[in-house]
Structure 1
């Protein structure tokens, strides 16, 4: 992909939505010396701007877009799942936000972009590059799959980690200690997955075929009402274990 040209000097960008992402996005765009207005609450008057970016819940996009359209040269949203029916472009940072992050939080992350026209998509790409992110295209037809991937990698991962914390607590390890002790294991697992993919790095009793240990683990999960989750994850893990790991290249003589 060609690197899009920079935003024209003097371009004004209005942020609508003062939640977690809206606050961080406004802060980050100001940090690279762009002319940012807001973030504005949805009930506030929106000034005219070259670009208006909606940082509102998915269910509020259509209504917010209707209000913002007369004030926007180009209108976009930051939703990963919502199509472009009501806006010109989308820019979805592939990251989780609490609202307290510094401007550097966008540096090096992916940002899914789309546009109803090539010019609109270029605006999304320009914003991503200005933030220090890496833009990549996701068409409307694949938006649900893309956003589900993000949910598995973040939201559902937290559900699994919370379950691990509950099981550790049942074993007598307090929550704070459990998170501190399990976190290095989580980090190394993610690093290994990033480098080689799941089939190549899967370990544990399912990968070893140690069914007696799996049964004991399931019984422990049932004691804290996690048997359904255990069964679902074990089934997927068996599928991964059955997949051949990618072949590694032999070193040349």
Structure 2
């Protein structure tokens, strides 16, 4: 975050007031959030984690005490539960069973797949439940600290205004999402991030069959992938689509399908069908359409039921 952005954050903090917060779960996300929020003027009261290794790493970035839940929870206004998804609910249940409830407090988790109401283990809980999900792949604490500013966040829950304020304090970009459709939001993130790696693996496999192996294959494909991402940034969807389906090159697609191993044909057809939809949208923006015969041939080739010759 540059000096100008930090100055704007500090002005906003003076208006809203400093937030006293605590962290349960000292993983990559929890550590990065705590460091950045402290840097802009909020106060981390302490951290609670079951792992001494995680705590020592946390403390190497932010020298805060390890507190029991009984010490931590009553002392904070906002409680970040940044554990693995599978234990978020059990943390909330533990707080409820131990009567560690502070009226008016905000409980915040950072899961992309779970709704904020996973924290509401009792309807009568006098706390706000909120979810702030960083739409980013953080490989390490250092990596998270370097890129959290500018990261987009999905926000949903009881106090979305608070969520937006926290995200802006982090230098992030907030987006309100529909709680009932959060699973689809998370699926979109998985497709964009995890399946990009899968697509790279598939491309490397095809290159290997053509004689370019392993690391050499990946190294040769990465500039192409970066170029495509650059095009997406510059011209967006669907204009960034290039290649034989965008051009309507039936013979090239037929050649691909004829040479693919049978186990890869269905994957190629599924992706190609989606590419054809984008191709239609791209041509519509240009005020043109695919020639009818060409379009029908492409649709036919990309239907999963089509039987192809395997050379």
* Aligned equivalent of 1:23, options 31, 48, 68: 31
Larger Rg: 1 or 2? 2
* Aligned equivalent of 2:267, options 226, 229, 238: 229
Partner of 2:91: 64
**Mapped pair 1:212 → 2:251:** yes
Instruction: Summarize the alignment of residues 42-61 of structure 1 with structure 2, pairs less than 5 Å apart.
Output: 45-46=68-69, 47-48=72-73, 49-61=76-88
| Structure of higher RCO (CA pairs closer than 8 Å, 6+ residues apart) | 1
**Mapped pair 1:41 → 2:49:** yes
What TM-score, normalized to structure 2? Answer: 0.68
Instruction: Summarize the alignment of residues 72-221 of structure 1 with structure 2, pairs less than 5 Å apart.
Output: 73-85=105-117, 86=119, 88-100=129-141, 101-116=143-158, 120-221=159-260
Confirm or deny: 8 A CA contact 2:28 2:144 kept in the other structure: no
- Structure 1: stretches of 5+ with no match in the other structure: 249-253
Give the direction of change, closer, same or farther, for the CA distance of 1:245–1:148 in structure 2 (3 Å limit): farther
Confirm or deny: 8 A CA contact 2:244 2:252 kept in the other structure: yes
Give the direction of change, closer, same or farther, for the CA distance of 1:199–1:139 in structure 2 (3 Å limit): closer
- C-alpha separation between the residues in 1 aligned to 2:163 and 2:93? 20
Give the direction of change, closer, same or farther, for the CA distance of 1:112–1:209 in structure 2 (3 Å limit): same
Secondary structure of the 1:214 match is helix
Confirm or deny: 8 A CA contact 1:89 1:115 kept in the other structure: yes
Secondary structure of the 1:198 match is coil
Give the direction of change, closer, same or farther, for the CA distance of 1:71–1:15 in structure 2 (3 Å limit): farther
- Structure 2: stretches of 5+ with no match in the other structure: 1-8, 52-66, 121-128, 287-311
- C-alpha separation between the residues in 1 aligned to 2:215 and 2:32? 28
Confirm or deny: 8 A CA contact 2:108 2:130 kept in the other structure: yes
Confirm or deny: 8 A CA contact 1:92 1:113 kept in the other structure: yes
Confirm or deny: 8 A CA contact 1:77 1:91 kept in the other structure: yes
Deviations along 1:21-73, whole A, 9 cap, x unmatched?
22332333344343225553357833122211112233322111223462662
Instruction: Note the C-alpha offset of 1:95.
Output: 0.9
How many correspondences in the alignment? 242
